[in-house]
Structure 1
């Protein structure tokens, strides 16, 4: 299945079902306490870490002018495709440091505690920021984290060339810096002054009146050693229009099917790759609880219990109630 541009989520006009933090803690703790729960998370979980969500409380895009690059544009072998890659990598070069330096927030650590205590044996995240990994890295080895946390849409923290050579994103950032000293100086000035650019959840930034034509995308050193000239690089993120690998798709369904309940946190479910997991849970008559501020694609579906409250207000107390 290919990832398509998310559905526009609008309010149905029905009154919101307000709930107090204390009542929400009781409901969530009761839902999670039996264990065997698969958790599905979205951008809302990372907002308190300084990473912007796609949508606000009203379900509308926070940046209505946001125009992501599609997979077919990024992979175009013509000059036009090369220009798209220049645009992507300049904006991503500027946007990656805030994602790299972001720290897990209260929700991430609460989730990590419930993972470690085996109440949430499976976690499927739409986020590409790696904060779930950071939150539990002091408890689990990387190999174990990979088994327990599925990144449905990939990660910003690795990059590969078109011939499959993979490098950590930090190393690729160094290549971009070395190839573009003027932009490296621009980043250094941002860090010195504390100025911040408007970022998107996928590590992109908004730039006005900038030419991308002189931005250098470096060649792959390994390809050069093998006698090939190759400057086609892509982060290990699933772009709009790109197919989710079958092993990831199959595992996401398996994680839902092996659970007894599904807990959905901080997402409008506007992207079908996540919404279909909720649909699958409902087909199997598994209880679904959804915690999100603002309208979602699952609002009003029979079998979905929705709590309109921020995770940062309740999850720490949920952990206390359960553990």
Structure 2
């Protein structure tokens, strides 16, 4: 079985960048005009979470830009053999150490600006490739009385799933916080190891999916314990085949999610893509669908993307955090100053990008 990590063609990476705007003011004006009419569909990628301290997969320091990086694939993670158990020990140890960082991460200025635009219905829905849940947090923190979990789930589609849940091979789903507690109880020595790192204020290199690189520490995965699913045990089955609630390489996106995403593109008047290289076909398919329907498309991303060179796309090569709060304020107009909730949303958000390697 041959599965590869989606990437950008060498020709795109080596191409000379196209200067899409002369300055920040022009970028603000063009994106503002694009959003002004409302009913804009939004697709986001890892780039919008960089200011929250999460690395983009394919940015300058992105894990997927390293040709030597070998991720665990779906068929390896769910393999019931001893080899599969070894893959699961490796994955869950790295995730055990990295998940607390992702869990504690806060929405940045881009998340809150998009939340304000969604709250005011300029952006009726968001499709995100991210599994971090930060779009959800921005709405929960920004307008808790208006956005309950049901409404948020209806308006934000997680194309690749969520890091905040875990599912066993028999379909039993639990919250990731609870699973983290199981891992802690099953691995007291690794819990002490994590606490020791925290006490020394060390930072492990954490990827957007919670995976951390610990090989350089010289540790072994052999003694890490992945607990059996308690629900399976009650039914008389020992089952440690558990995976996070997001789509792995080599795993298919559920058909219901694909169909819902296509309907979202069909229902919008225009499509904005932000912080994504579109390297994964799941998002690129949605862009192609919008172009086939002759919808106006704007791409806001720093650096090369899979869409570079395609006709019918207006590209702005500027970081979202640089311009989104200003754009949200301009698009929303007077309510951005007079409505307390909207004003605080636009003024909220952290700006703490991860340190360079």
Q: TM-score, normalised by structure 2?
A: 0.87
SS for the counterpart of 2:273 is strand
Structure 1 CA distance for aligned equivalents of residues 33 and 26 of structure 2 = 11
Please point out which of 5, 16, 19 is paired with 2:19.
16
1:154 corresponds to 2:161:
yes
SS for the counterpart of 2:295 is coil
Q: CA RMSD in A?
A: 1.6
1:203 corresponds to 2:192:
no
Please state how far the C-alpha of 1:287 moved relative to its aligned partner.
0.5
Q: Summarize the Cα distance change of 1:60–1:291 in structure 2 as closer, same or farther, 3 Å threshold.
A: farther
Please point out which of 286, 295, 300 is paired with 2:309.
300
- Corresponding residue of 1:34: 37
Contact 2:55 2:61 in 1 (8 A): no
Structure 2 CA distance for aligned equivalents of residues 81 and 146 of structure 1 = 33
Please state how far the C-alpha of 1:19 moved relative to its aligned partner.
3.3
Give the gaps of 5 or more residues in structure 1: none
SS for the counterpart of 2:221 is coil
Structure 2 CA distance for aligned equivalents of residues 314 and 244 of structure 1 = 32
Alignment of 1:243-262 (within 5 A): 243-262=252-271
Give the gaps of 5 or more residues in structure 2: 333-357
- Corresponding residue of 1:166: 173
- Corresponding residue of 1:83: 86
Residue-by-residue CA offset, 1:3-58 (whole Å, 9 max, x unaligned): 96212351422543343121111111110111111100000000000001112259
Structure 1 CA distance for aligned equivalents of residues 63 and 77 of structure 2 = 26
SS for the counterpart of 1:236 is strand
Residue-by-residue CA offset, 1:167-189 (whole Å, 9 max, x unaligned): 11001000000000111011111
Residue-by-residue CA offset, 1:53-109 (whole Å, 9 max, x unaligned): 112259994544322110011111111111101111001111111100000000000
Q: Count how many residue pairs are aligned between Structure 1 and Structure 2.
A: 321
Structure 1 CA distance for aligned equivalents of residues 14 and 168 of structure 2 = 42
Structure 2 CA distance for aligned equivalents of residues 16 and 127 of structure 1 = 27
- Corresponding residue of 1:45: 48
SS for the counterpart of 1:156 is strand
Q: TM-score, normalised by structure 1?
A: 0.96
Structure 2 CA distance for aligned equivalents of residues 304 and 230 of structure 1 = 48
Structure 2 CA distance for aligned equivalents of residues 289 and 6 of structure 1 = 22
Please state how far the C-alpha of 1:258 moved relative to its aligned partner.
0.7
